[in-house]
């Protein structure tokens, strides 16, 4: 059978960085995110005896490393469905991959639902989230709708994501600024393994539960400025850990830092806008819906900005009948 799914990327406000179990991708801490309405991956999967080998095409290309990770995920699903037929997987992102925009989150979420459906399984949302997590940790947060919490858990069954507020709970936007389409040189999977080498990681963990509780209250009460301060500090804490890991990880480009400085200037001028950034050079600007237009007119210098994608809080995964092959 053939199935197609669409999944959003998500932006973490409180980040997942470090794993207490690498194979199962159990995180060192819980995290909080929002699905992004305009950063989407569409994936079609078909299992059939007509295929001699698994074939994986992502954005029109065959990449052995990516394919191995996808096939490992297909194997988990074949095992659950008790099938051993080969599969064809075709996947398309509507945004650049491996630049800090979490294409592995949307990618493994879409793959999980398309492949389980194509294999004849019918998992519920919690089971899908648990499965997606094993492909890429942050993918578990792209399954449910809107604002999402990934419960840290202490076993595979207890580490999954659930919706804490629907997409229309709060009219905020994530204005994604693409400053370069170059791919990052250290993949996130490698970065997670380095956390313990930073002297600041243990300090981070001491306060993380408190931070998660705090951000949930701020989202609930829609206190934008306190929320913004917290997410920007959290992003800088994540990068402080990356910068002080051994080896040190530096994901920003000069243009990333220029945009950060611009955000602070705009804030001083009275526009409440805050940044967050993951493992890559592209940067997320979080702003209230009513201020998107004034942010767009003031964002400078244009020479650093390759593309802007405006996102609202988005839905989670969905099935589609528009197959890619």
Instruction: Report the nearest approach of ligand PMV to the CB of residue 1 (Å).
Output: 28
Nearest Cα neighbor of 16 from 30, 2, 3 is 30
Of 76 and 323, the one with the shorter C-beta distance to ligand PMV is 76
Q: What's the 3-state SS for the chain?
A: CEEEEEEEEEEEEECCCCEEECCCCEECCCEEEEEEEEEEEEEEEEECCCCCCCEEEECCECCHHHHHHHHHHHHHHHHHHCCCCCEEEEEEECCCCCCCCCHHHHHHHHHHHHHHHHCCCCCCHHHHHHHHHHHCHHHHHHCCCCEEEECCCCCHHHCCEEEEECHHHCCEEEEEEECCCCCCCCCHHHHHCCHHHCCCHHHHHHHHHHHHHHHHHHHHHCCHHHHHHHHHHHHHHHHHHHHCCCCCCCCCCHHHHHHHHHHHHHHHCCCCEEEEECCCCCEEEEEEHHHHHHHHHHCCCHHHCCEEEEECECCCCEEECCCCC
Q: How far is the CB of 49 from ligand PMV (least distance, A)?
A: 33
Contact (Cβ atoms closer than 8 angstroms) between residue 119 and residue 2: no
Contact assessment for residue 281 and residue 179, using Cβ atoms and an 8 Å cutoff: yes
Pull the structure tokens for residue 120. Answer: 């004849």
**CA end-to-end span of the chain, whole Å?**
13
The residues binding ligand PMV (CB under 6 A) are: 12, 15-17, 31, 102, 104-105, 136-138, 188-189, 278-279
In the bound state with ligand PMV, the residue whose beta carbon lies nearer, of 38 and 320, is 38
- Judged by CB, which is closer to ligand PMV: 31, or 112? 31
Indicate the residue among 12 and 231 with the shorter CB distance to ligand PMV: 12
Name the minimum Å distance from CB 17 to ligand PMV: 6
Task: In angstroms, give the least distance from the CB of 284 to ligand PMV.
Answer: 10
Smallest separation, CB 105 to ligand PMV (Å): 6
Question: Judged by CB, which is closer to ligand PMV: 172, or 266?
Answer: 172
CB of 157 to ligand PMV, least distance (A): 19
- The nearer residue to ligand PMV, 105 or 173, going by C-beta atoms, is 105
Contact 265, 153 (CB under 8 A): no
CB of 314 to ligand PMV, least distance (A): 15
Please report how close the Cβ of residue 82 comes to ligand PMV at its closest, in angstroms.
Answer: 28
In the complex, least distance from residue 188 CB atom to ligand PMV, rounded to whole angstroms: 4
Structure tokens at 249: 């990880």
Nearer to ligand PMV, 4 or 138 (CB): 138
Quote the distance between the C-alpha of residue 22 and its chain's center: 18
CB closer to ligand PMV out of 37 and 134: 134
Q: Which is nearer to ligand PMV, 187 or 272 (CB)?
A: 187
């Amino acid at each position: 059978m053939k199935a197609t799914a669409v999944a959003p990327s998500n932006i973490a406000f409180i980040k997942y960085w470090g794993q207490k179990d690498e194979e199962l991708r159990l995180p060192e801490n819980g995290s909080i995110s929002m699905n992004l309405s305009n950063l989407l991956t569409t994936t079609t999967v078909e299992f059939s005896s007509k295929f001699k080998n698994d074939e994986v095409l992502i954005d029109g290309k065959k990449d052995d490393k990516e394919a191995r990770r996808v096939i490992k995920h297909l194997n988990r699903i074949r095992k659950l469905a008790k099938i051993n037929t080969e599969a064809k997987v075709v996947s398309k992102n509507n945004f650049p991959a491996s630049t800090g925009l979490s294409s592995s989150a949307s990618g493994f979420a879409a793959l999980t639902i398309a492949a389980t459906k194509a294999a004849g399984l019918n998992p519920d949302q919690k089971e899908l989230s648990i499965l997606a997590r094993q492909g890429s940790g942050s993918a578990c947060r792209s399954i449910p709708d809107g604002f999402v919490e990934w419960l840290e858990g202490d076993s595979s069954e207890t580490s999954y994501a659930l919706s804490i507020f629907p997409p229309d709970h709060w009219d905020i936007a994530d204005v994604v600024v693409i400053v370069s389409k170059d791919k990052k040189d250290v993949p996130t999977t490698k970065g997670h393994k380095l956390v313990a080498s930073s002297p600041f990681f243990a300090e981070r963990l001491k306060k993380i539960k408190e931070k998660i509780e705090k951000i949930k209250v701020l989202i609930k009460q829609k206190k934008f400025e306190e929320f913004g301060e917290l997410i920007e500090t959290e992003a800088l804490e994540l990068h402080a850990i990356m910068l002080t890991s051994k080896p040190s990880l530096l994901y920003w480009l000069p243009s990333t830092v220029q945009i950060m400085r611009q955000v602070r200037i705009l804030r001083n001028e009275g526009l409440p806008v805050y940044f967050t950034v993951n493992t890559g050079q592209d940067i997320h600007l979080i702003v209230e819906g009513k201020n998107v237009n004034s942010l767009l007119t003031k964002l400078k210098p244009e020479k650093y900005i390759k593309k802007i994608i405006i996102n609202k809080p988005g839905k989670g995964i969905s099935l589609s009948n528009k197959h890619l092959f």
